[in-house]
Every structure is written in structure tokens, then in C-alpha cells.
Amino acid sequence: MYEESKSTRDKIFTALLEEFPGGPDTFLIAAKFCYGMRVELTPRNIVMIYCTADYLEMTDEYGEGNLLSKSESFFHKNVLHNWKDCILALQSCETVIQRAEKLHVVNKCVNALSVMVCTDPSLFGWPMMMYGSLQSPGGSILWNGINTGARIRSSESDWWFEDISYLSVSLFERLIKTMETRGIRPENLVGAVMHYTRKYLPGLGRWQGGQHGIPRTVTSFSLTPIALDQRVVLESIEKLLPRKKGKSFCRFLLGLLRVALILGVSETCKDALERRIGRQLELATLDGLLIPTYSDADALYDTDCFERIIHHFMSSESKVTPFSPSSFDLETSPSSRPLQKVAKLVDNYIAEVASDVTLKPVKIRSLAEALPESSRTLFDGLYRSLDIYFKAHPWLSDKEKEELCSIIDFSKLSIDACAHASQNERLPLRVVLQVLFFEQMHLRTALAGCLHGLETESGPAGPVTVPGDMAGQIIQRDGWVTMVRENRVLKVDMEKMRSRVGELEEEFSKIKQEMKKVNKSHSSLSSPRVVARRIGCSLLSRPSDAKPDTIESTGPSPRVSVEQARPSLHSRHKKSFSLF
């Protein structure tokens, strides 16, 4: 290049440096160094200068103490031994990533940072301001073997979360994987990932709950957060998440799933999040599972997503312990407690979404049947959910209601639920009859148990000692006896009322018949023929016919009884009718 420039003195010499690292600013620094000018090396520009020196081959072969050796020495002696400088250098690798990878700059920075995180800070001679505020006197931290009299106020394990959050997604992912191979505690890695996610997905904090404090940082410099594609961040973060369980972590996953549905991430990422939630569904909350529908569907909530999560939960449970409906014992199985929690969660979920008028009965049934019947010790929650659904959908036919009610095991309804269902007007008649049948069975069983207990307890009088664990059972049994007696009294009263109502109905029917007869007789007496006859009878009556009446009325007795008056009246009618 130099010889070519000599032969073309009269012409303008140009040289094209393709893929030059760092751009014009870095080239200007290299040119100043060639002319003997002072070049300042800092953690922010050391990687670009290092890559530029390597690109221009500024080795010691062309001059002792050349730029490549100087930048390499500064990087290894100053940058890799300081947390702050190492973070700055790693962040600056983004613009020259290919050349930095060739020089192993990225690997060296990542390894150095992971070592600093893995190691107890009090064992190093670094300035302890990097790891928290100082408190003196009474410390035991050494600086080059000298007791400084300072100590760490609190050994927080999250002091590095904020600093590494300024890295790009690819560098952050690489750093987390390196830390994982070095044996950093999984909860610390999860905390760092969650902190990074909340920073670049602002909408995630709306469903996390609680207030997050001011980000803790150990560096005194200010970094500018980089602009990242949220979809890329979310899909990359999902791959970094460990297989961890916990209430806070499950809440974080549910919030992550909401954001994923809003951003429209890939199906692979969405399915992976649903599987992670399904493995710990018993730790989820109802508010977190009520995910709105972000598509063009008419439904208010994404019930399909929740149903897939339930299936993932059942598949994970079947891998833990083989499930058999006939031999599954809820009291002895180790997975019974999570299964019962999920069943209660599903019932509450159905109750919340049941008020949606666009929700189809098929979806309600599929959600309820996603879990086996043995997962519910009581079906009160499912009955309550269906009652809310029937109330919000009054146009359902009895056939549709009966199909939905078939998923309820009425033998597992409590007494209160049976009492409510027997008087529920929204239930079909067949369902009410089933409820009454099982309610009667409950009463018979309870009564038989009480009578059996009374028979076994009958014996010679004497002091009886009752163990403490049996006292509650005896009290409960006495309560059952009282309840059964009250129910029997109520049933007797009901039978009496029914018989009395029957008698009243019979009397009412008789009165109606009598009223009909009276009306008929009244109508016949008021006819014209009868009136004419009555008139004829009074006109054609003989004088001799009135005499007995006069004689009877002038008898010795001044009072005439009703019995005597009625025959005389009857006799008059007979005499009058004899004229025709």
C-alpha cells in the first residue's frame, strides 16, 4: 500500500477497509497512535481498539509496544479483574461481535463475571463498594492483606441482577448459561432472569402483584438500556427458565403467558409456557388463570388455554404416579393433595366464567371433565358453578341442563347443597328427584350409623373415659342424631300438612258440587212454567183448603214451632199441585 502510494503522487490515493471494526472513530485512534500521540484506553473503548489493532495487524513485529500488545495487556490486567469494567467491556462487544468472538473477548468477559458471582466477595481484594454499602468499624475484609476495618452490611445475593440486565439478549443468555455450568444456585439464576424480563417487558408487572423495590446495583456508572424486540426477549427468556416450582414463580409464568398471547409469540414458546404452568398448577391463583381472550373470538376468557394447562397437569401427574380410577385413594396417594387443589381451582374458574353469555355448554362440560371424578371429595363447588351458569343462561333446555348435571355425582353433595338443589327451580325435575333420592340415602345412612353407635354404647352404667381424638367424632355424631330427629319431625309435619290439604281439597270439591246443584235448582224454579203453576195454584185454591190452616193457627198453643209450620206449608203445596 505504501509503495502504491509513492507511484501515484499526482493522484488521490484511496484504500477501502472492508468490515473495519469500530468505524471512523476507532480508526482515528489507531492513526493517532501511529503518529505518536497519546491514546487513552478505557473499559468502554478497549474492545474496539483491541479488535482494530488485530484487524490492522499492529503487532510488535512492526514496532515494540505496538497497539495490539498494549490493548491486550490492558484488557487482561485491568478489565477482567473488575466487575464494573468487565460489564462495560462486554456491553461494547455488540458492535464488533464477530471480531470479539475471534479474539475470545466475549468468552473471557463471561467467564470472569461468572467467577465473580460464584465466589464470596469477602474473599477477594476488590473494592467492596462493588458489593454493597460499607459499615465500620468491626470488619474483617482484607485489602492486600491489610485489615481495612470495614465490613459488608448485608450479603445480598441479588446485587448483580441490575448490572447484567443492561446486556443484550444473546449476551445475557450466554452469561446465564455459563453461570449455570459453574454451579450458581438456581434460585439466583431465576431471580436474575425474572429481573431482566420485568425490565424489558413492562406489561408483565401488571399481573405480578406487590411492589418491587429500587433496582439494586453495585456499580457507580450509568448504562443506557438497549432497545430490544419484546418477542425475541420473551422467546429467549423462556428457554433460560429452569424447571422450578413456587408460588411466585408460577405467578411470574402466568404473567409471562399473558404477555406472550398479546405479542403473538410462536406456538412452541406458548406451548412451553403452558407446560411449565401445568406442572405446578396447584400453586396457581384464580386471578392469574383468568386470561382474557386476545383473539377475535366472542368469549371473554381464553378457556381453551386453561383446558390445555389442565391436560398438561394431568400428564405430569400420571408420570409421577400411575392413575387408576378404580384404585385411586385420595387419602393415601401422594398426589391427592395437588389433585384436590386443582379440582377446587377448576370449580372456582368455572364459577367465574359461567356468567359469560357466549360460553357454550360443551366448554363447561369439557372443563369439568378434564379432571377425574375421584379428584373431588365433594361436588358442591361444581354444583355452584352450574347453578351460576343456569342463572346466566335461562334459555337452556331441560335436556341441555340434564346433560350438564350428569357430570355431578349427587352422592357426593353435602347436606346443605342437597337442600339447596331440592328447592332449586332452575334444575330439571329429573335432577331434583335424583337429589331427593340421594338426600334420603344420606339421612338413612346417618340414622343407621347413629343407631348402631347408640346400640354399641349401651351397657352397664359406669365411668366412661373418652379419648381426645374421639371426642370430636362423638360430638359430630350427636349433631347428626339431632339433625335426623329434626328432619323426622319436619317430615311428620309435612305429612300432616299434606293430608290436611287433601281434606280441604275434597271439601272444596264437595262445596263446588253443591253449588252447582243449587244453581241448577234455582234456574229450574225461575222458569216461566213454574211461575205460571205457582200463580195457578194460588188462584184455584179451594176455600176449604184454607180452613185447616186457620184452625191450626188458632189452636190453644200461642207459639207454632218450625216443625209444625213446615208440614203445613208442604201440605198446601200438595193441595195446590193436585189441581193440575
Alpha carbons 34 and 28: distance in angstroms, whole number:
10
Closest C-alpha among 215, 202, 111, 234 to residue 158 = 215
- The partner residues of 134 in beta bridges, in order of sequence, read 152
> Would you state the pLDDT for residue 458?
54
Cell digits for 237?
A: 427468556
Cell digits for 46?
A: 478497549
- The conformation of residue 405, written as its DSSP 8-state character, comes to H
Cell digits for 341?
A: 387443589
> Would you state the pLDDT for residue 320?
57
**What values do phi and psi take at 426, rounded to 5?**
-80, -15
Q: Which helix (H) or strand (E) holds 152?
A: strand 151-152
> Would you state the pLDDT for residue 573?
41
> Would you state the pLDDT for residue 559?
39
> Would you state the pLDDT for residue 576?
39
Alpha carbons 17 and 19: distance in angstroms, whole number:
7
| Chain-centroid distance, C-alpha 491 | 43
Report if pTM > 0.95. no
> Would you state the pLDDT for residue 494?
77
Cell digits for 317?
A: 401427574
> Would you state the pLDDT for residue 419?
86
Phi-psi region of 145 (alpha: psi -120 to 50; beta: other; left: phi over 0): left
Segments of the chain with pLDDT less than 50: 123-142, 145, 148-155, 210-214, 218, 220-222, 321-334, 460-474, 476-477, 531-532, 534-535, 537-580
- The conformation of residue 12, written as its DSSP 8-state character, comes to -
| Chain-centroid distance, C-alpha 97 | 44
